[in-house]
Structure 1
Amino acid sequence: MDVLILRFDAPLMSFGGVVVDQNNPTWRFPGRSMLAGLLGNALGLDHRDTAKLQALQDRLRFAARWDAEPEPLTEYQTVDLGQAFLVDTGWTTRGRREDRKGGSAATGTHQRWRDHWANGVATVALALDGDGTPTLDELEAALRRPARPLFIGRKPCLPAAPIFLGRRVAEGVKAALAAEPLAEIGPRRRPARITALWPLDEGEGAGIEERFDRRDWANNIHRGAERYAVGLLEVAP
């Protein structure tokens, strides 16, 4: 199997999660929809290309690990819409204002809590199941020369180094991840044990993690669970 190796090294990262009201959590490891969005951005797709993003997400196969242990960080955002110059305004999402109709939400204080991982380094092995577009060659080309600047989960989460490491051949994404040497992390803390997440059909782990990380791109909601194996990973020196 041909596998692409990605490395996420950034001051802040966010891997998506199910949003509940004003709370925006993040998964411990990258999610399927988050990776589809990052790759779609590299390819030059946008949120109107729902069929292409859905097809890409459905074909993704990946495994992920932490090379440098991250620290959880919650960003608190607030704005008082009662101020004169902010009347009839709201949050802006994808260039469009989110107005609130009636009640205190239209004029009061808006708050959001967004979770991130700080100062970590993660490595991801990624492949595509089945045939279709894009091909792995097209993904590799897009990651080498992305159509737009890339970010890791949220727009403020800019990478500190190029994301694409290279192309490998392995039995699966788990095997490719295990064969990839750990990143040089300088003074940052190495995890006491290297834990990873990988597809269930590539071997058992210490446990199973079920996540709602499948996105319905046409309706802009998360819908559909995915189960992954999680456990210790023996990494080549």
Structure 2
Amino acid sequence: MTVVALRLAGPLQSWGSGSKFVRRGTETAPTKSGVLGLVAAAKGVRRTEPIEELLPLRLGVRIDQPGQLVRDFHTAQRPEKARDGSITWKPLPLSYRFYLADATYLVVLEGDQALVEGIDTALRSPAFPLYLGRRSCPPAGPVALGLVDGDLDHALTTVPWLASSHHQRHRREREVRLETMRDALPGEVGAETLRDIPVSFDPNRRQYAWRTIVRGSVLLPNPHGTEEPPAEHDPMSLLGG
């Protein structure tokens, strides 16, 4: 089996799954709807066109550099025409938008061999501009990492740590534990649900279905690490004779 790997990094990212009205939040990691939207843009699929071939793809995400949550706000005005033909501008409510600053993720897509190979090719020469959740969030550097032999779980544990050298030196440990999220297998224990499967990107009838995910972690070597990981604290050892 072969999977396609992506590096999603940039000054700002925003991966909303339940934003409403004037508050536009972000998840702590790329969503499936956001990633498939990026892939569809690379392949030249327009918003009004079907995306059925992408929906069976399994998604896995590794949080290589969490970044920081930041908040911005937007102002807007709406034109109103008076009876005398003059135009006045009515202010709309402030909208608060949340972003992840300086974050880096490994994203892995598992599926049909020809499909994942086509995704890798498209990401190297995208038909439409790529962005990380919102149009104001372009990626920093190439997105495509290439094809990786093995399944989704194998890629999450073997692709080298993608965090910046500064972040790796800051961690210091020779081995680091990184959080992961992936599509759950049928009946898998410990799963949670998220409304995150893009049935349609059509602006006139956007539709999303429920997705089941499982959270976990992997242990990776730190190329800039200098310290052994701290020993696990055992409070019961204090009661020993």
Indicate the SS of the match to 1:21.
coil
- Which residue type is aligned with residue 231 of structure 1? G
- Conserved 8 A contact 2:4-2:117: no
Q: Report what 1:221 is aligned to.
A: 206
- The answer to whether 1:61 aligns with 2:45 is no
For 2:146, the equivalent position in structure 1 comes to 166
Structure 2 counterpart of 1:93: none
Query: Is 1:45 aligned to residue 45 of structure 2?
Result: yes
State the distance in 2 between where 1:155 and 1:223 align: 20
Instruction: Report the AA paired with residue 136 of structure 1.
Output: V
1:15-65 Cα offsets, whole Å, 9 max, x none, are 22112222221122221211111001001111111x2x2431x21211111
Query: Does residue 180 in structure 1 map to residue 177 in structure 2?
Result: no
Aligned counterpart, 2:72: 75
The letter of the residue matching 2:157 is A
CA contact (8 A) 2:183 2:211 kept: no
Q: Where in structure 2 are the equivalents of 1:125-164 lying within 5 Å? A: 125-128=108-111, 135-164=115-144
CA distance 1:55–1:113, change in 2 (3 Å): farther
Is contact 1:18-1:222 (8 Å) kept? no
Task: Encode CA deviations 1:47-103: one digit per residue, 9 max, x unaligned.
Answer: 111x2x2431x212111111112101122111244xxxx446xxxxxxxxxxxxxxx
Structure 2 gaps, min length 5: 82-88, 223-241
Identical columns (%): 25
Could you list the per-position Cα deviations for residues 126-156 of structure 1 after superposition, in whole angstroms to 9, with x for gaps in the alignment? Answer: 1225x8xx72222111011111221111111
- Indicate how the Cα distance of structure 1 residues 202 and 62 shifts in structure 2: closer, same or farther if over 3 A, else same: farther
Q: Say whether residues 1:33 and 2:41 are aligned partners.
A: no
Distance, in Å, in 1 between the alignment partners of 2:186 and 2:106 is 18
**What secondary structure, in the 3-state scheme, does the structure 1 residue paired with 2:133 have?**
coil
Considering fraction of residues, name the structure with more strand.
Answer: 2
Say whether the 8 Å CA contact 1:41–1:146 is kept in structure 2.
Answer: yes
Q: CA RMSD in A?
A: 2.6
Mapped contact 2:28–2:66 kept (Cα < 8 A): no
SS of the aligned residue for 1:19 comes to coil
> If the length of structure 2 is used for normalisation, what is the TM-score?
0.77
Distance (whole Å) between structure 1 residues aligned to residue 57 and residue 182 of structure 2? 12
Does structure 2 retain, via aligned residues, the 8 Å contact 1:195–1:233? yes
Kept after mapping to 2: 8 A contact 1:10/1:120? yes
Q: Which amino acid aligns with 1:14?
A: S
Q: 1:167 and 1:236 mapped to 2: Cα distance?
A: 21
State the 1:236 CA deviation: 5.6
**Within 2, Cα distance between the matches of 1:193 and 1:125?**
18
**Given that residues 14 and 157 in structure 1 are in contact (C-alpha distance below 8 angstroms), is that contact kept between their aligned partners in structure 2?**
yes
Bigger radius of gyration among the two: 2
Distance 1:116 1:195 in 2: 19
Once residues 232 and 70 of structure 1 are traced to their aligned partners in structure 2, the CA distance between those partners, rounded to angstroms, is 17
The residue type equivalent to 2:153 in the other structure is K
- Contact 2:32–2:196, Cα closer than 8 Å, also in 1: yes
How many Å separate the matches in 2 of 1:68 and 1:41? 25
User: Relative CO higher for 1 or 2, CA cutoff 8 Å, sep ≥ 6?
Assistant: 1
Letter in 2 for 1:232: S
Q: Which blocks of at least 5 consecutive residues in structure 1 are unaligned?
A: 89-105
Contact 1:180 1:236 in 2 (8 A): no
Please report the TM-score for the alignment, with normalisation by the length of structure 1.
Answer: 0.78
